[in-house]
Amino acid sequence: MLLPARLTPPQNVGGTLIHSASIKAHLKAIPAGVWALGFVSLLMDISSEMIHALLPIYMVTTLGTSALAVGIIEGVAEATAAITKIFSGALSDRLGKRKGLAALGYGMSAFTKPVFPLASELSWLIAARFIDRVGKGVRGAPRDALVADLSPPEVRGASFGLRQSLDTVGAFLGPLLAILLMVLTANSFVTVFWIAVIPAFLAFALIVFAVREPERLPDLKPVRSPLSRRELARLGQDFWWVVAVATVFTLARFSEAFLLLRAQSVGLPVALVPAILVLMNVVYALAAYPAGVLSDRMDRRNMLAAGLVLLFLADMVLAYSSSVESVAAGVILWGIHMGLTQGLLATLVADTAPPELRGTAYGMFNLMTGLALLAASVIAGVLWDAVGPKGTFLTGAVFAALAAAGVLFLRRVSVRTRF
């Protein structure tokens, strides 16, 4: 797919590439449907994180579940979500419609939320968690493809940045609300779980009534077998390069659980350890939308390279940290790199995949990066036990450097595209 190196030349105003007027202009240009999808993500994340922040503790302390069982349940749940995304994305391409599948996924997650406060046995929680993650898988690829379909090319990066930013706001508001409500309710898990039902159903109502799917363009080819070899080949070399670089990149970005372990290893009290994730997500949310706006004004490969450099620096700082302050600095760098890269990678998929195959493209992208994240977390765990935190984060820095080298290589061999 032929794409210009940049949509418009970067404008340097007052010594900066981006300023408040540009951000406001992009905000006005973003379609109402993208805004609605952003708030759908925010509300569902608030609901899910309120529950997930407390669920492992609830399972162990109230239901007597072992830590091993908690780990297996979480691993199976996330793997299920990653696999489901392939089929939901492909189905949205075959149907030529995105909203119905996205709404179905959000509905599945919403209607399982009441099970958590009602469950008296572990089997009910396992079933609810499984269906909830299937719902996440069903909605993920069609929703991202819908954002791409709704967004004009000149604000595509800003649109993905906005949705990612609102999603991340929910990711840190949910645990904060869970903590506050646990204090106010004298540690009543069931009460907090019931309150978490409310934003889930608001999210479902919002996507049903506030999001309108755009008309399918008449010149788009019909897709009969999205996962066939022929259709996958149509995704093109540029798309598969995006997937390859993102996969290596994800090997350097293992689970944020290791940020918590790193903070604890330098002496942060256990009660304050969750503040590390709050810090990371606040920085992430603040960076995501401006980064999306900036990516609409410059070569996206430069943005991705900058994000990889920040991840390399974060890994190096965390490898050699000896104090809470230095870990916090590494976490801030980690959050900035997330803001620069996660919405950007989603934008690059939309840039490089044919419009009629975007659902399949997002499904394949999520599968590969999801498997890479699982592998990275396993590698990180093995290294942590064998050589400690320093070896873990230094290995992450090596993968970040390799991914950055891949981006620089692509700048030489793929001058005809934005990636």
| Pairwise CA distance, residues 260 & 241, whole Å | 32
- According to the model, what pLDDT value does residue 414 have? 53
Judged against a pLDDT cut of 70, whether residue 20 lies above it is answered with: no
State the average pLDDT over residues 272-276.
76
301 vs 159, higher pLDDT? 159
Range of lowest pLDDT (58-67, 156-165, 291-300, 324-333): 58-67
pLDDT at 85 over 90: no
Q: Looking at residue 316, what is its pLDDT? A: 94
Residues of the chain with CATH 1.20.1250.20: 30-215, 230-419
Residue 289 to residue 154: CA distance in whole angstroms? 14
Query: Could you report the per-residue pLDDT of 185-244, keeping only the tens digit for each?
Result: 888 889 999 999 999 999 999 999 999 988 877 767 777 788 888 888 888 888 888 898
User: Quick one: tokens of 87?
Assistant: 């089929």
Q: HEC string of 318-367?
A: HHCCCCHHHHHHHHHHHHHHHHHHHHHHHHHHHHHCCHHHHHHHHHHHHH
- CA pair distance 221, 231, nearest whole angstrom: 11
pLDDT of residue 119: 84
What integer is the mean pLDDT of 273-284?
A: 84
Query: CB atoms < 10 A from the CB of 367, how many?
Result: 19
pLDDT digits (tens, 9 = 90+) for 101-129: 999 999 999 999 999 999 877 788 888 88
- Greatest mean pLDDT range, 15-29, 63-77, 200-214, 344-358: 200-214
pLDDT at 75: 58
Which residues fall within 8 angstroms of residue 275, CB to CB, at 6 or more apart?
none
Measured CA to CA, the distance from residue 306 to residue 417 in angstroms comes to: 18
CA–chain centroid gap for 377, Å, is 16
For the segment 378-397, the average pLDDT, to the nearest whole number, is: 85
Q: Which range has the top average pLDDT, 4-8, 107-111, 185-189, 357-361?
A: 107-111
Q: Helix, strand or coil for residue 40?
A: helix
Q: 35-44: per-residue pLDDT in tens?
A: 999 999 999 9
Tell me the per-residue pLDDT of 248-258, one tens digit each, with 9 for 90 and over.
Answer: 888 887 777 78
SS3 of residue 320 by DSSP: coil
- At 56, is the secondary structure helix, strand, or coil? helix
Give the closest residue to 108 by CA, choosing from 42, 171, 200, 174.
200
In this structure, which amino acid lies at residue 300?
Answer: R
Superfamily of domain 230-419: MFS general substrate transporter like domains (1.20.1250.20)
Average pLDDT value for the chain: 82
| Three-state secondary structure of 68-134 | HHHHHHHHHHHHHHHHHHHHHHHHHHHHCCCHHHHHHHHHHHHHHCCHHHHCCCHHHHHHHHHHHHH
Provide the pLDDT for residue 121. Answer: 78
Q: What is the 3-state secondary structure (H, E, C) of 215-282?
A: CCCCCCCCCCCCCCHHHHHHCHHHHHHHHHHHHHHHHHCCCCHHHHHHHHHCCCCHHHCCHHHHHHHH
Distance, in Å, from the CA atom of 208 to the CA atom of 102, rounded to the nearest integer, reads 9
Distance CA 1, CA 331 (A): 37
Superfamily of domain 30-215: MFS general substrate transporter like domains (1.20.1250.20)
Task: Identify the pLDDT of residue 56.
Answer: 66
Q: State whether residue 415 is helix, strand or coil.
A: coil
pLDDT number for residue 270:
66
According to DSSP, residue 151 is labeled S
Range of weakest confidence among 17-31, 62-76, 135-149, 218-232: 62-76
Rounded to whole angstroms, how far apart are CA atoms 56 and 61? 9
pLDDT at 416 over 50: no
> pLDDT band at residue 15, thresholds of 50, 70 and 90?
very low
Tell me how far apart the terminal alpha carbons of the chain are, to the nearest angstrom.
10
User: Does residue 68 have a pLDDT over 90?
Assistant: no
Residue 280 has pLDDT above 80, yes or no: yes
Phi and psi at residue 13, in whole multiples of 5°? -115, 120
CB 249 within 8 A of CB 367: no
DSSP assignment of 183-227 equals: HHTTS-HHHHHHHHHHHHHHHHHHHHHH--PPPPPTTSPP-S-TT
Count of C-beta atoms within a 10 Å radius of residue 266 = 16
